[in-house]
A = this chain, B = another copy of it.
Amino acid sequence: MTNNIIKPSTLPGFMELLPAEQILFNKMLDTIRDNYEKFGFLPIDTPVIERAEVLLAKGGGETEKQIYKFEKGDTDLALRFDLTVPLARYVAQHFSELTFPFRRYHIGKVYRGEKAQRGRFREFYQCDIDIIGNGKLDIVNDAEIPSVIYSTFKDLGFDSFTIKINNRKVLKGFFEHLGILNSTEILRTIDKLEKIGLNKVEEELKEQGLEQDKINKIIQFIQISGSNEEKLDSLKKLKIENDIFNEGLEELIAVNHHVKVFGVPEENYMIDLTIARGLDYYTGTVYETFLDEYTNIGSICSGGRYDNLAEYYTKQKLPGVGISIGLTRLFYQLNEANLIKTEDNSLTKVLIIPMKGYLDQGIKIASDLREKDINTQIYLETEKMGKKFGYADKLGIPYTLIIGEEEIKQGRYSLRDMETGKQEMLSIEELLLVLKDS
């Protein structure tokens, strides 16, 4: 056939991994899922394509620009750009069939037509949990979320990370108390403190036309330091007479107390009054999570409390709290930081290599091992011995098992540890023990 060859390539902004990396990526997905299930979250899976009208119900902003939209027949369709909007639609649609508080996890791909640049992805996995109340939702839920984050990142193999917690009501009330009613811009500035430093923050606040005494109070406020308890004490001592502030402070105190009860070690969480998540729809508790040694990666898990999940789809009031892990970006960044190790990562435990004339015996042993749930591959091609061992080597398969005349006669099989090169003659039972353990 004389075909035109089309260059095989993926689009920029779409991650595609080789199998050894994919195995690691999947292990991370599994760990996240196991943890979400350990905390009693239920799985859902929504369509990637929805009516554009549904996904853009809230409308406006970056979303509208970035969303993948297209027509099919006479319907405007779009690809989901997060898992929160589909959750809102799901809960509104299936309201009467769900049990509240509704705890759901959702792991899936989302799409954003961002400007292509290194480390930015147009297709990426989000791993979300949310707890949705019907009408109300106890503040203790806000304290359980950090324990999910803690358990998950521990299991992912991270030791030094910090979950930063704040409450938007504390910020909102504080600004109201200063006579500032629209604090969006200020919050956005404060949010950048870590990045741009105190002086730049002060400068920006001046540019926004704030009086110096208010700026001083804001600077003083975001510099409140010490242990979590000391920070809470300092906030109390401000004696601010503002209902929203005091409601937020009470919530923050409750969350701080219960996070500890949920077993999150002191070194893994802290109250940080500069965490604002300015652009989001959060109304109470907010979270961000940082790797202590790689803060430049930015927050690896964020979220918060919101008053009303699904106002665009239902009149039911549905407060909730949740977080999201953007695994594609995290994986990319861990890889950039050389923290992804693809060695010793084979899912297959053993490669069976039958000698000439012993194929059937090899197949039988492969079937036996598989029946015992041992991931087994059998080499079926006609090749030289060296090539067969090389195959196991390249794939990182830890063991090879040779089946030939001697082996069948003795009922013992020579298992070779591909790392050490050590070879042993083992009975099937001994074989199973070694392979089950490894």
A-to-B contact residues, CB < 8 Å:
1, 3-11, 14-19, 22-23, 25-26, 37-40, 42-51, 53-54, 57, 68-72, 75, 77, 88-90, 92-94, 97-99, 101, 103-104, 109, 111, 113, 122-123, 133, 136-138, 140-141, 144, 147, 151, 258, 261-263, 310-315, 347-348, 351, 359-360, 363-364, 366-367, 370-371, 373-378, 380-382, 391, 394-395
Q: Shortest distance in angstroms between A308's beta carbon and chain B's nearest beta carbon? A: 8
Contact of A19 among B104, B122, B363, B377 (CB under 8 A): B104
Q: Shortest distance in angstroms between A100's beta carbon and chain B's nearest beta carbon? A: 9
Q: Are A262 and B94 closer than 8 Å at their CB atoms?
A: no
Contact of A123 among B47, B70, B71 (CB under 8 A): B47
Instruction: Please report the C-alpha to C-alpha distance between residue A380 and residue B53 in the assembled complex, in whole angstroms.
Output: 36
- Taking CB atoms, residues of chain B closer than 8 Å to A348 are 37, 40
- Taking CB atoms, residues of chain B closer than 8 Å to A8 are 54, 88-90, 92-93, 310, 313-314
Q: Shortest distance in angstroms between A232's beta carbon and chain B's nearest beta carbon? A: 18
Instruction: Please report the C-alpha to C-alpha distance between residue A375 and residue B258 in the assembled complex, in whole angstroms.
Output: 20
Q: Knowing A49-B123, A262-B367 touch, does A19 contact B44 (C-beta < 8 A)?
A: yes
Contact of A48 among B6, B17, B48, B93 (CB under 8 A): B48
- Taking CB atoms, residues of chain B closer than 8 Å to A97 are 18
Instruction: Please report the C-alpha to C-alpha distance between residue A375 and residue B123 in the assembled complex, in whole angstroms.
Output: 31
Q: Are B376 and A123 closer than 8 Å at their CB atoms?
A: no
Q: Shortest distance in angstroms between A6's beta carbon and chain B's nearest beta carbon? A: 5
Q: Knowing A103-B377, A311-B1, A347-B42 touch, does A364 contact B9 (C-beta < 8 A)?
A: no
Q: Are B40 and A22 closer than 8 Å at their CB atoms?
A: no
Closest 8 CB pairs of A and B: A40-B377, A70-B70, A19-B42, A8-B93, A14-B47, A8-B313, A8-B92, A263-B367
